[in-house]
Amino acid sequence: MATCGLWLTRRGVVAVVADDDGVARGPARLAARTAEAYWALLGDVEAHEGLDCRFVMTDETLATEPRLGKLAAQRGAHVLVVSRVLVDGLRVIAGASRAPPKRLALLLARLPLCAPLVQQLAPLRLQLDLL
């Protein structure tokens, strides 16, 4: 099953898909910070990778851009959230403190492949508005 890492930048969200071996599939995708661009990005990934593609983002991305998580949930996507603090620690260990956003998105996409880190990935749970 493919997994797509979503890394937030000043310009938008960078998305990189990894296959079951952690190899990047296709080029990195960039979406501007608008609901329409997020919707198109999620749809493009699902169209190319299938509806079972998982998405991984940091808690900081979710807090900064809650629309991204809400739109993914509306699409029925499986979204996993990881602590930005943990990701920053992994960046230091990997010598990737200054890595480009596409490399960081790929790092997120690879997290579900690392058994000891799977327990650090929490499924996205959004509160639904009742009215």
Show the domains of the chain with their CATH numbers. Answer: 3-123 (3.30.420.140)
| Phi, psi values for residue 73, rounded to 5° | -65, -40
Q: Pull the structure tokens for residue 125.
A: 């749970």
pLDDT recorded at residue 111: 97
pLDDT recorded at residue 58: 97
Q: Does the pLDDT of residue 131 top 60, yes or no?
A: no
pLDDT recorded at residue 86: 96
Q: Tell me the average pLDDT of the chain.
A: 93
- DSSP letter string, 56-97: EEEHHHHHH-HHHHHHHHHTT-EEEEE-HHHHHHHHHHTT-T
pLDDT tens profile 70-117 = 999 999 999 999 999 999 999 999 888 889 999 999 999 999 999 999
Tell me if the pTM is above 0.95: no
- Confidence band of 129 (pLDDT split at 50, 70, 90): low
d(CA 103, CA 125) in angstroms, rounded, equals 26
Mean pLDDT of 23-28: 94
Q: Pull the structure tokens for residue 74.
A: 């509306």
